[in-house]
Amino acid sequence: MSEQEQFYLNTEESTTQHAVRRRREFIIPIALFILTVATTIIAGALQKGVNPFQEPFRLIEGIPFSLTLLTILLTHEFGHFFASRRHGVKASFPYFIPAPPPFLVGTFGAVIKTRSPIMDKRALLDIGAIGPLAGFITSIVVTVIGLNFSTIITIPEEKEVLGLGSSLIFSILSYFVIGPVPEGQDILLHPIAFAGWIGFFITSLNLLPIGQLDGGHIIYAVFGKWHRLISITMIGILVIFGIFTWQGWLLWAMLVTLLGIKHPPLMDGQIALDRRRKIIGWLSLAVFVLTFIPLPIAI
């Protein structure tokens, strides 16, 4: 076999491998998304008291929750995706993570893989901030809609009830949509409002100013060398909350520590943020404060 023939053979194999990889880039995200649609519909039906095995025809009752939650997640992830493409950063389509029953949310969220370096602070801030801000705005809209369908109920004294903590933004929206809640009563959230609550919670988790989370990207872009100290301080705060409020924060503190608190350097770290992006950075930190819930779940 001549060298020229060998060259064409290798090129053909490389092209085939490239085609297989490209198919995987589409097939895997689509397959995971379809699975997540199914698990979130089941989760929504379970919230309504439906047994999906005994009453499969009632699974449609889980669609409002599923559609709302997936809309929030898609808005968030495609915010990252389009911001990455705008700055010439290669990024995958969102990989949704389905969570089968008995997990009552139906998903562990979604992630996007970044496949090329981020050039400068401006690109880093755009990529880190646009996703959470888009998800935050979407969560506000769906929460207002869902609260209009929610009802006020009397809290039963004779049995334990799973209660949801309230972020500042959720409390504000509840007050303006429903009004003050009398003592001994609480809001029974419509599935759309519950999806909005989850959207705010997910936003706060992503905006934690630690490592390479969205909040970590923003802190690195805005404060640079202070990123590591801020990350360590925030982990310490999570540990304190984990001891005194919700033990789940201990798990999050451990998880983000294992993922690493160090941020990789940028290709060009000398380009400074412009005024507009500094405002976006501080706005993102304000959104974190508005959405953070010290005690997310209480019994």
Q: What is the 3-state secondary structure (H, E, C) of 194-239?
A: HHHHHHHHHHHHHCCCCCCCHHHHHHHHHHHHHHHHHHHHHHHHHH
Position 188 scores a pLDDT of 93
Q: Are 46 and 62 in contact (CB under 8 A)?
A: yes
Q: How far apart are CA 299 and CA 81, in angstroms?
A: 38
Position 6 scores a pLDDT of 38
Position 30 scores a pLDDT of 96
Query: Residues near 197 by Cβ (< 8 Å), separated by ≥ 6?
Result: 143, 164, 170, 189
Position 17 scores a pLDDT of 62
Q: How far apart are CA 226 and CA 249, in angstroms?
A: 23
pTM: predicted TM-score of the whole model, two decimal places: 0.90
Angle between helices 248-259 and 227-244 (to 10 degrees): 160
Give mean pLDDT, residues 54-68.
95
Mean pLDDT for the chain?
Answer: 91
Mapped onto helix, strand or coil, the DSSP state of residue 260 is coil
Position 74 scores a pLDDT of 98
Q: Are 128 and 214 in contact (CB under 8 A)?
A: yes
Q: DSSP states of 1-44 as a string?
A: --HHHHHHHHHHHHHHHHHHHHHHHHHHHHHHHHHHHHHHHHHH
Position 160 scores a pLDDT of 65
Give mean pLDDT, residues 33-62.
94
62 closest CA partner among 115, 123, 104: 104
Q: What is the DSSP letter of 224?
A: G
% pLDDT > 90, the chain:
77
Confidence of residue 136 (pLDDT cuts 50, 70, 90): very high
Q: List, for residues 228-283, the tens digit of each pLDDT value.
A: 999 999 999 999 999 999 999 999 999 999 999 999 999 888 899 999 999 999 99
Q: How far apart are CA 167 and CA 232, in angstroms?
A: 23
Confidence of residue 163 (pLDDT cuts 50, 70, 90): confident
Q: How far apart are CA 279 and CA 263, in angstroms?
A: 22
Q: What share of the chain is helix, strand, coil (3-state, %, to 5)?
A: 65, 10, 30
Residue with the bigger pLDDT between 264 and 215: it is 215
Does the pLDDT of residue 4 top 70, yes or no?
A: no
Query: Residues near 60 by Cβ (< 8 Å), separated by ≥ 6?
Result: none
Which secondary structure element, helix H or strand E, spans residue 131, and what is its range? helix 121-148
Give mean pLDDT, residues 105-118.
92
Q: How far apart are CA 282 and CA 286, in angstroms?
A: 6
184-188, 198-202, 217-221: the lowest-pLDDT one: 184-188
Q: List, for residues 5-36, the tens digit of each pLDDT value.
A: 334 344 444 666 656 666 777 899 999 999 99
Does the pLDDT of residue 2 top 60, yes or no?
A: no
Give mean pLDDT, residues 103-113.
92
Position 212 scores a pLDDT of 94
Token representation of residue 245: 């409020």
15-19, 20-24, 50-54, 181-185: the lowest-pLDDT one: 15-19
Position 207 scores a pLDDT of 98
% pLDDT > 70, the chain:
91
Position 98 scores a pLDDT of 96
Q: Are 38 and 62 in contact (CB under 8 A)?
A: no
Strands 95-98 and 107-111 turn out to be antiparallel
Does the pLDDT of residue 291 top 70, yes or no?
A: yes
- Return the domain boundaries, the chain: 3-207+269-298
Q: How far apart are CA 135 and CA 174, in angstroms?
A: 19
